[in-house]
Amino acid sequence: MRTRRTRQGLAVPVSTLILVSTFTLLTLFTYYFAMSSVNTQSRTVNYQTSKQEMLTLDQSILSVARSPGTTLLQSFESHGQRFRIKPDERRMIINVTFGDRAETVYNSSNGCIEYELSSSDLVESSPFLNGDDRLIVDKNYYGMSQLFVTSGVNGREIYLGYRPIVTSYIETDLNQTSILRIYLVNMNSSQSLELQDNFRVKISSTDTICQIRSIVSSSPITDVSVIATIGEVSEEVNLPSSTVLDSTIIRIETVIFNVMLVEVDD
């Protein structure tokens, strides 16, 4: 009888130990799962905040560019991530070709903005938040933006730069002048900055410049192309024949919206 009672007495602590261990493991699993969900939600919120801040900044820059003399302020909550303005980056060269001739109408840095992301596991169906991968387009200037998620030095970041927009038409006069107009947003007068945490940026339109050059051809112009080059990459836009056909004069108008971004000291 004593032997039986001893075996039964040992069975109780072993069963209790198994139950406690199982409960502890379940508790730890639940805790880590909950913490992982919280961290994922936090990263998602941070990403969406950064994305919206850059979309708003893009809209502010374009709004100011179209209204010379105006100024807008924007606040940022970077969550410890770096925000950089690089006025000397994104050098762009624009050439206009027709026949066997070529004219360089622009050769300057345009500036760009980089905003680090706090997480590398959040992805969009497309990296582009605004615009696409074309370096030059022939639509209205609401398509100037190139805002996209890319890989930076320290991880993923949101990048903002601007590309040229090309329009063309025939000016009906005695000379049948073909008008080629190129629109650009230039941020190279901005302050070179690297900011973190909470900060504010002022966006100002300094001026709008229109550079004009007229070229007379001895024979009718039948085709015109505008080529934009950034770094080692070049792309071109071919103008519709209806806007250049039989013209002997082409007037190239390069319209530059100069926008300056600086830090606002509290």
- Give the pLDDT score at 241: 61
Predicted model pTM: 0.80
Q: How confident is the model at residue 44 (pLDDT cuts 50, 70, 90)?
A: low
Q: What percentage of the chain reaches a pLDDT higher than 70?
A: 74
CB-CB neighbours of 121 under 10 Å: 9
Task: Provide the Cα torsion 135, 137, 141, 142; round to 10°.
Answer: -80
Q: In what side-by-side order are the strands of the sheet with 247-264?
A: 71-77, 198-221, 247-264, 177-186, 165-171
The Cα-based distances of 25 to 22, 28, 29, 32, 34 in angstroms read 5, 5, 6, 11, 14
pLDDT tens digits along 175-227 = 678 889 999 999 999 999 999 888 999 999 999 999 999 888 777 777 789 99
Q: How confident is the model at residue 89 (pLDDT cuts 50, 70, 90)?
A: very high
pLDDT tens digits along 152-172 = 777 889 999 999 999 988 777
